[in-house]
Amino acid sequence: MNREEVIASMASKLAEGSVVNAKKKFHHKILLINLAVILLSGTMVLIVTISISKKPLHQNHNDSFLQVTHVMQSPLQKLKKAFQDEVIGADEYALYMAYLLVKYDSIPENFKTPSPKIMSKEVYAELDRIWGSISLRMRQKITFELLPQFRSKIQ
């Protein structure tokens, strides 16, 4: 091919735009491949992050919630709620309150807390409040065996 034929051939190709179109298609393919790789990588990172962090965070959240609930509720509050919900009767309630003050290990496990904070004034006030609704036998047990200082309350 001589020089004029080469120039004519190139001119016709340029006129058709085949070289330009080929380059554009090539750039589009590279762009689409890069975009697909980026999206796939991002999706994989998101899936892995969620799967790794989901279980421990959920479990730690529940554990910390239970610990906070456990610490915030005193044994007296647990007993009071059980009495209000009629899970335990007045006699049991009074006996367990007396045990709070003198024999903490004697109360049932479901009313205990890991680090009990027992305010004796609150316990005495609650005992005084329900004193009329407990049986004479339980009053005697509390005043003679457990809390002799409560003896003046017996009638």
Residue whose structure tokens are 């980026």: 38
Asked whether the beta carbons of 107 and 100 are under 8 A apart, the reply is yes
Return the pLDDT at 57: 45
Domain span at residue 32? 3-71
Give 82's pLDDT tier (boundaries 50, 70, 90): very high
Residue 89 has pLDDT above 90, yes or no: yes
Domain identity same for 85 and 135: yes
| 153: exposed, middle or buried (Cβ count in 10 Å: 0-12, 13-18, 19+) | middle
Boundary-marking domain end, from 20, 38, 71: 71
Residue 15 pLDDT: 67
Question: pLDDT tens, 20-68?
Answer: 667 778 888 888 898 889 988 888 888 888 878 765 444 555 555 544 4
Number of structural domains found in the chain: 2
Helix axes 18-72, 3-16, angle to 10 degrees: 40
Cα separation of 32 and 26, whole Å?
A: 10
Q: Is the dihedral of CA 17, 23, 26, 27 positive or negative?
A: negative
- pLDDT score, position 115: 80
